[in-house]
């Protein structure tokens, strides 16, 4: 005897098949913490490394990365890197298999340190900016000084440009960051910090994307959740280099998925058309969908 299927019956196979065309594909922006700057005409802090699937990542080759295809019900690590204190590298940021490297510290009587973006050199003959990391950020600026000692430290590297060299007339501007629309609004991240200045100079701008300004006195900190490098300290006491800005992790995924945020993370979710955007501003933990 044949059996007629009820018109309202839906098999488990049909339920599964209905979801197959809609995989969990996650776009990401992962920005590490910016580096802290150097003292006494010190180099600006390098920006945190920047990796992104919506806009080209920082540094060279600076390609647009591929979104991750993830499994529902599986935990994935998220870490938001902190900005480096005075003369200290920034901390790495992480999402799943993606790691962005903390920004290099600016030089205090030294060359800049390597990092996601490199720190700028102190204003001393022969010192050089730190190297950036491929596909994350650019190098910091050299001292640029061939004689005398009244100029500025080199600017910290940014995700989008090299920091400019320090000069006797006090340049040393932080390298520019990179703009992305992953949140739904075009926003710059990961600008390098400006180099510290001599007594006759005015503040040195940080790079667009949260880089702190270098100063004649104490530098200005990088912007929180930008990955910007700290601004270098100048020649006049107090003359400390400033801290880098903390990083950020932003995830964009189809709006029919719901994210679960584990303890230890600070994050908020907003709707942007057919997508949800979750922004993590602090902490370390796991997420799942």
**Domain for residue 161, yes or no?**
yes
**Domain for residue 11, yes or no?**
no
More confident residue, 144 or 138: 138
Give 53-82 as a DSSP string.
SSSPPSSSS-PPPPPEEE-TT--EEEE-PP
Res 192 pLDDT > 70: yes
Q: Domain span at residue 253?
A: 26-289
Q: Give, in order, the Cα–Cα distances in Å from 88 to each of 33, 112, 148, 283.
A: 11, 11, 27, 19
**Domain for residue 9, yes or no?**
no
**Domain for residue 107, yes or no?**
yes
**Domain for residue 17, yes or no?**
no
Contact between 121 and 193 (Cβ < 8 Å): no
Residue 143: the pLDDT is 87
> What number of H helices and E strands is found in the chain?
1, 12
Mean local confidence (pLDDT), 190-210:
89
- How far is CA 79 from its chain centroid? 12
pLDDT in tens, 229-242: 999 998 888 999 99
**Domain for residue 2, yes or no?**
no
Bridge partners (DSSP) listed for residue 98: 95
Residue 80: the pLDDT is 98
Residue 6: the pLDDT is 47
- How many domains does the structure of the chain reveal? 1
Residue 5: the pLDDT is 41
Residue 74: the pLDDT is 97
SS3 content of the chain, % helix, strand, coil (to 5): 5, 20, 75
**Domain for residue 90, yes or no?**
yes
Side-chain half-sphere CA neighbours of 45 within 13 A: 46
Burial class (CB in 10 A: 0-12, 13-18, 19+), 191: buried
pLDDT in tens, 54-112: 999 999 999 999 999 999 999 999 999 999 999 999 999 999 999 999 999 999 989 99
Distance CA 102, CA 91 (A): 4
Q: Is the preceding omega at residue 53 within 30 degrees of 0, hence cis? A: no
**Domain for residue 243, yes or no?**
yes
pLDDT in tens, 20-70: 446 899 999 999 999 999 999 999 999 999 999 999 999 999 999 999 999
Res 13 pLDDT > 60: no
């Amino acid at each position: 005897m044949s059996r007629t299927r009820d018109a309202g019956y839906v098999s488990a196979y049909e339920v599964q098949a209905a979801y197959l065309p809609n995989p969990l594909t996650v776009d990401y922006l992962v920005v590490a913490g910016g580096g802290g700057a150097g003292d006494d005409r010190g180099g600006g802090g390098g920006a945190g490394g920047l990796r992104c699937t919506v806009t080209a990542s920082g540094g060279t080759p600076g390609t647009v990365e591929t979104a991750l295809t993830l499994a529902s019900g599986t935990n994935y690590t998220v870490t938001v890197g902190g900005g480096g204190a005075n003369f200290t590298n920034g901390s790495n940021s992480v999402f799943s298999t993606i790691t962005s490297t903390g920004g290099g510290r600016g030089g205090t009587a030294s060359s800049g340190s390597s990092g996601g973006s490199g720190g700028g050199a102190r204003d001393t003959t022969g010192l050089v900016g730190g190297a950036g990391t491929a596909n994350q950020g650019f190098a910091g600026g050299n001292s640029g000084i061939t004689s005398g000692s009244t100029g500025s430290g080199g600017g910290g590297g940014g995700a989008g440009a090299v920091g400019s060299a320090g000069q006797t007339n006090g340049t040393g501007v932080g390298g520019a960051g990179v703009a992305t629309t992953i949140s739904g609004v075009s926003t710059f991240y990961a600008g390098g910090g400006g180099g510290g200045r001599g007594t006759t100079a005015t503040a040195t701008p940080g790079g667009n994307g949260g880089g702190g300004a270098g100063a004649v006195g104490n530098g200005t900190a990088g912007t929180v959740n930008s990955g910007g490098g700290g601004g270098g300290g100048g020649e006049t006491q107090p003359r400390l280099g400033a801290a880098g800005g903390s990083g950020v992790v932003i995830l964009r995924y189809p709006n029919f998925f719901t994210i679960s945020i584990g303890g230890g993370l600070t994050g908020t979710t907003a709707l942007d058309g057919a997508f949800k955007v979750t922004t993590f501003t602090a902490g370390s933990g796991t997420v799942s969908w």
